[in-house]
């Protein structure tokens, strides 16, 4: 697993963590290739990433053609009409412009179809006039190492590249990097793994935690058996209970779907969430945690409560846990 060049995917505000902070740090650590989804994201990052390639995964929008040259951006092109439009733009300004070529090998979202590949193989001129940096494709099931689709996509990509003019290749996302040497290419494109999401679900996380979300206890109150907690009194005390009310809610990206099943970390232990998640407040059963005081902070996401586990409570994946993070929290950028 050593020695393969690696880009950094910083789309969606670096998976919710703040691309304006994250991307320059990755540049300082040696990353020279970055990917975002949208043109506007690339334009915003360009001044922060001098000299780096910035790939725009969603491609070329002819209505904003000038932005790609003004900001030195590299669109990822995935249809023949899109390629033709980019070539026409390049010809109009008399320059050979950079691009990446997206090939669909199983996602059926973006990228040249088999029929378009046939057309290109028959008439390589369809790709003329463009400085092709990489051919790329995207894995659909890389986090499931036993899914046969991985090998199918690997073979389709190799076959496609054999029919294209020679160019470098970009293949694996975070989980793809861990599928083994056959999935290595000239440029991996990890996103989630950079932010501490486990790229190998079901196995120990090879990545370090990068995010910690804590929230303070506002009040503690003792309630009697039979007393309800929160909206609709969906949780009812069955013993004398100490309720901790914490300043976080679904408006902060702590999904309401986790009502009644989440936990928070405190002092090396887990405190169970009780009742409905409100917009701005959470309630916990602190009865078994007598040390907990108003002002103490519970770890909602972090080394003790990994995003992948929170994802289980939210009914989603670690990616969405991060991209859901709200903007009310005070964000501090430091080593964990």
Ligand X SMILES: *Cc1c(COP(=O)(O)O)cnc(C)c1O
The CA-atom distances, in angstroms, between 228 and each of 239, 243, 249, 270 are 12, 11, 19, 22
Q: Which of 193, 185, 167 is nearest to 317 (CA)?
A: 193
The CA-atom distances, in angstroms, between 81 and each of 65, 77, 182, 278 are 14, 9, 32, 48
> Is residue 174 involved in binding ligand X (CB under 6 A)?
yes
Nearer to ligand X, 164 or 192 (CB): 192
> Is residue 105 involved in binding ligand X (CB under 6 A)?
no
> Is residue 16 involved in binding ligand X (CB under 6 A)?
no
Contact range with ligand X by CB under 6 A, out of 185-193, 231-239, 283-291, 295-303: 185-193
In the complex, the smallest distance separating the C-beta of residue 212 from ligand X, rounded to whole angstroms, is 20
Q: Could you give the string, one character per residue 64-103, with x where binding to ligand X holds by CB under 6 A and - elsewhere?
A: ----------------------------------------
In the complex, the smallest distance separating the C-beta of residue 173 from ligand X, rounded to whole angstroms, is 3
In the complex, the smallest distance separating the C-beta of residue 106 from ligand X, rounded to whole angstroms, is 13
CA distance between the termini of the chain: 25
* Cα–Cα dist 107/137, whole Å: 9
Q: Are 207 and 198 in contact (CB under 8 A)?
A: yes
Nearer to ligand X, 57 or 160 (CB): 57
Contact range with ligand X by CB under 6 A, out of 44-52, 158-166, 187-195, 237-245: 187-195
> Is residue 138 involved in binding ligand X (CB under 6 A)?
yes
Burial class (CB in 10 A: 0-12, 13-18, 19+), 57: buried
> Is residue 200 involved in binding ligand X (CB under 6 A)?
no
Query: Active-site residue 231, yes or no?
Result: yes
Q: Which long-range contacts (CB under 8 A, 24 or more apart) does 12-16 make?
A: 12/37, 12/41, 12/323, 13/41, 13/323, 14/195, 15/191, 15/192, 15/195, 15/197, 15/319, 15/322, 15/323, 16/253, 16/322, 16/323, 16/324, 16/325
In the complex, the smallest distance separating the C-beta of residue 125 from ligand X, rounded to whole angstroms, is 27
> Is residue 59 involved in binding ligand X (CB under 6 A)?
no
∠ CA 36-48-12, rounded to 5°: 25
> Is residue 173 involved in binding ligand X (CB under 6 A)?
yes
Options 75, 191, 230, 249; binder of ligand X; rule CB under 6 A:
191
> Is residue 237 involved in binding ligand X (CB under 6 A)?
no
Q: Could you give the string, one character per residue 292-331, with x where binding to ligand X holds by CB under 6 A and - elsewhere?
A: ----------------------------------------
Element (H, E) at 150: helix 148-163
Q: Are 252 and 278 in contact (CB under 8 A)?
A: no
> Is residue 36 involved in binding ligand X (CB under 6 A)?
no
> Is residue 192 involved in binding ligand X (CB under 6 A)?
yes
> Is residue 57 involved in binding ligand X (CB under 6 A)?
yes
Which of 15, 96, 195, 231 is the catalytic position? Answer: 231
Contact range with ligand X by CB under 6 A, out of 25-33, 44-52, 186-194, 307-315: 186-194
> Is residue 39 involved in binding ligand X (CB under 6 A)?
no
Options 9, 39, 300, 301; binder of ligand X; rule CB under 6 A:
9
CB atoms within 10 A of CB 51: 7
Those residues whose C-beta lies under 8 Å from the C-beta of residue 19, and which sit 6 or more positions away, are 10, 13, 36, 41, 44, 45
* Cα–Cα dist 322/301, whole Å: 10
In the complex, the smallest distance separating the C-beta of residue 193 from ligand X, rounded to whole angstroms, is 6
∠ CA 275-280-284, rounded to 5°: 35
Query: Active-site residue 96, yes or no?
Result: no
Q: Which residues bind ligand X (CB under 6 A)?
A: 9, 11, 57, 138, 173-174, 189-193
- State the catalytic residues: 11, 231
């Amino acid at each position: 697993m050593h020695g393969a060049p690696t880009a950094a995917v910083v789309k969606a505000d670096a998976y919710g963590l703040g691309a304006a902070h994250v991307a320059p740090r990755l540049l300082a650590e040696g990353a020279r290739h970055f990917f975002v989804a949208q043109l506007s994201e690339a334009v915003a990052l360009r001044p922060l990433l001098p000299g780096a390639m910035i790939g725009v995964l969603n491609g070329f929008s002819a209505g904003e053609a000038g932005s790609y040259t003004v900001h030195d951006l590299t669109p990822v092109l995935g249809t023949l009409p899109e390629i033709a439009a980019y070539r026409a733009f390049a010809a109009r300004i008399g320059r050979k412009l950079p691009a990446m070529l997206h090939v669909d090998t199983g996602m059926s979202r973006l990228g040249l179809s088999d029929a378009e590949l046939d057309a290109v193989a028959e008439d390589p001129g369809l790709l003329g006039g463009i400085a092709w940096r990489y051919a790329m494709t995207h894995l659909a099931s890389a986090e499931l190492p036993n899914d046969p689709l991985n090998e199918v996509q690997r073979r389709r990509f190799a076959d496609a590249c054999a029919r294209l003019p020679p160019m470098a290749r970009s293949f694996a996302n975070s989980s793809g990097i861990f599928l083994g040497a056959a999935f290595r290419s000239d440029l991996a494109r990890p996103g989630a793994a950079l932010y501490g999401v486990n790229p190998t679900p079901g196995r120990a996380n090879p990545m370090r935690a990068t995010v910690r979300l804590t929230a303070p206890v506002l009040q503690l109150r003792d309630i009697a058996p039979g007393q309800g907690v929160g909206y609709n009194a969906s949780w009812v005390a069955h013993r004398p209970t100490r309720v901790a009310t914490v300043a976080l809610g679904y408006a902060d990206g702590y999904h309401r779907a986790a009502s009644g099943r989440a936990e928070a970390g405190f002092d090396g232990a887990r405190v169970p969430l009780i009742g409905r998640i409100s917009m701005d407040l959470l309630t916990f059963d602190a009865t078994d945690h007598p040390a907990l005081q108003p002002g103490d902070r519970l770890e909602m996401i972090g080394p003790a409560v990994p995003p992948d586990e929170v994802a289980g409570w939210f009914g989603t994946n670690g990616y969405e846990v991060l991209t859901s993070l709200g903007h009310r929290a005070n964000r501090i950028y430091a080593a964990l």
